[in-house]
Structure 1
């Protein structure tokens, strides 16, 4: 998953699915023993390759979500034990970007149920998403400033977005604000 605006040149010939301000790029894992590999390594699917497959995009999307469900274990982790604990989404197997949890409705629903309220999602990096319960959140603009500040200190290849996301009553991820 990458930021569409920041990666326009990279995405020019890639097949991807737009998701809010992001792009979900499809990869083919090219390792011989990919099921036992510690992480995914592969080749991005180009628009030309996708045309050759002649498969409906919805079929591939369904398979992508199914594969993520099999190969990843997205967890909501509590980082501190204080009253206002810091929580993150990460892939326990560390095979996929933690940011892909944005696509896993069951994970988001489970988080909302555990928190007993809607929540904001701050993209710390492509590997990790910070969860902020609505009742503990600052103003959206303040959270956005914090993300932008943090992004200035992060290697550019780890950046996901300057936006804050929200998961609430609609039960779908949206850009906050």
Structure 2
């Protein structure tokens, strides 16, 4: 069964299960990804959270053993398990201190960036998230769109400055020496650690550790690596970054295809090489 036939058959089955609900096809842009989804919902779905059905994911389930019913059962389970009533977080008292920064690739997220506020940084983009919850199980966030930012009545510069302050307060960044010539920078939780790259004091501290100019490999959204300038050639580092991006991380963890250079005297960060993605 080809993908288009699979999609048609899924919609047919969903109409049987949910005859009074709307079934819509939509393209959803997530970080580093473009996903085709089905949205299945009643006409009035106020205060109702309904999961998106990412068709390609379920088509992969079908392809494993050509069992359509197995894939369909997984789709129905998703809808039944995760359709629930919610309290709109923006109907509650808003906390501006819950706005933080996530660092993502500009090139890989051009469509996503059309509808959300962001601040360019090298070949990257600072986008903004709102923390919905933070507990022992982790952090739940939502990406702030242009419409949601209006709720906070913040100008672009105010939004960025506030998010910088909040991120610095909520994230603890660590510099780890992995070997004689390799350093890693990440967060204490090992999530979104590459955001440390936007803080000048982090790079200055790293410079104090290395004691000379250094190159930076943005290896994923979760961390970046640094090597002293004298120890490596740019072409060698570019090959390492490309291989790591292609084999060691998932698509949604990709950050950049560029090598950066940091000058400890001028405290300037710049791109010195990149490869085509």
Q: Same fold (TM over 0.5)?
A: yes
Highest Rg: 1 or 2? 2
Residues 36-92 of structure 1: CA deviation (Å, up to 9, x unaligned):
455332111101222343322222222112112211111110123xxx342100102
Partner of 2:130: 28
Partners of 2:266 and 2:136 lie apart in 1 by 37
Q: How does 1:1-177 map to 2 (within 5 A)?
A: 1-31=103-133, 34=134, 36-37=135-136, 39-80=138-179, 84-94=180-190, 96-138=191-233, 140-153=234-247, 154-168=249-263, 169-177=265-273
Q: SS state of the match for residue 236, structure 2?
A: helix
User: Gaps spanning 5+ residues in structure 2: where?
Assistant: 1-102
Count how many residue pairs are aligned between Structure 1 and Structure 2: 169
Partners of 2:199 and 2:138 lie apart in 1 by 19
Q: CA deviation at 1:142?
A: 2.4
CA-based RMSD: 1.7
User: Gaps spanning 5+ residues in structure 1: where?
Assistant: none
4+ residue runs over 6 A deviation = none
Q: Which has the higher contact order (CA 8 A, sep 6+)?
A: 1
Partners of 1:130 and 1:71 lie apart in 2 by 22
TM-score, scaled relative to structure 1: 0.87
Give the conservation status (yes or no) of the 8 Å contact 1:123–1:164.
Answer: yes
Residues 73-116 of structure 1: CA deviation (Å, up to 9, x unaligned):
11110123xxx34210010233x411101111111101111211
Q: SS state of the match for residue 130, structure 1?
A: strand
